[in-house]
A = this chain, B = another copy of it.
């Protein structure tokens, strides 16, 4: 089962907002429709957003025709449309920059060749992503004991990559290698990616999963029920400060208090070496509705304020290690070895 794919000139993706009730595939042939799908979290998760961005550029190119007066302007517009969907996840900008560079390198070539080579680039991004998540899984396994309980937040499995996932990719690999893993899944308010998506993925794969409310993680840790925390990331600054789904920083503080290792799993495309630290990461604020009526029924009075940041930033000193496709990085962070060479 693939969360996102290129099929017959279209982007085919699982509508993640419909899970777990319904498994609905969308086929999208217009880049603006894809922008809407990204904004509405039909496709979500940093690596998957990156892949969607790359495919979106190809959709835009495929709509080009002789009536378009200024090709450069058109391509810039397509990329800007995609770029403005969501501000935090680095992978989107990384993929769009890579597509843009590719297209620039084809300057002077025929439109047919530009389209063909751009599709190839997007498919490369896709296949590299699949390979990256496989390697993250392989690299991360050594962090887990043969029997262990993992706490995770949001969703980081096959729904968010072309492969097996980032944080959950480590879980899948560990189980494949015969380790006995129990997962506690934060439900992850407001949009319940943990309850709807992580629990769904793990249950489907036959992995022992227990759903908790986000505010219950501290209780579990105090009782000694959690061996480690593993989360994904949306953007990682040069110094290792990490933006991820809101609530991640909360878990990192709790993990520190209870002497529990706190791991971040992410591919190189999540790293933003242009940023010195986490203060520079833009944090998306989303619609208050997600909080006060995320379930089809208003559950708070009218006229109150709601604060709904989608992400928070965990400072590097709370992160025990980063699991990447290259290797595991331990503190002090800053020299990211092979990752910088991509």
Contacts and interface: CB of A to CB of B under 8 A. Distances in A.
Contacts of A256: 257
Given A250-B250, A295-B299, A300-B20, A305 B210 contact: yes
Interface string A293-326: 0111111111111111100110000000000000
B246 A215 contact: yes
A212 B307 contact: yes
Contact of A300 (B195, B222, B254, B308): B195
A196 interface: yes
Q: Is the interface of A mostly helix, strand, loop or mixed?
A: mixed
Contact of A253 (B192, B208, B253, B292): B253
B253 A216 contact: no
Contact of A291 (B187, B219, B249, B294): B187
B189 A219 contact: no
Interface in A222-259: 222, 246-247, 249-250, 253-254, 256-257
A213 B301 contact: no
A74 to B, nearest CB: 39
A211 interface: yes
A301 B198 CA distance: 10
Copies of the protein in its oligomer: 2
A295 B292 contact: no
A294 B297 CA distance: 11
B301 A203 contact: yes
A21 B204 CA distance: 37
A251 to B, nearest CB: 8
A298 B302 CA distance: 25
Given A195-B292, A295-B297, A188 B200 contact: no
Contacts of A216: 246-247, 307-309, 312
A217 B214 CA distance: 11
A261 interface: no
Interface residues of A, number: 59
A133 B256 CA distance: 37
A85 to B, nearest CB: 22
A186 interface: yes
A211 to B, nearest CB: 5
A190 interface: yes
A43 interface: no
A190 B211 contact: no
A75 interface: no
A291 B189 contact: no
B257 A253 contact: yes
A188 B250 CA distance: 15
Given A202-B304, A203-B304, A218-B250, 10 more contacts: A21-B298, A186-B215, A189-B215, A200-B300, A211-B288, A211-B292, A215-B246, A216-B247, A253-B253, A294-B295
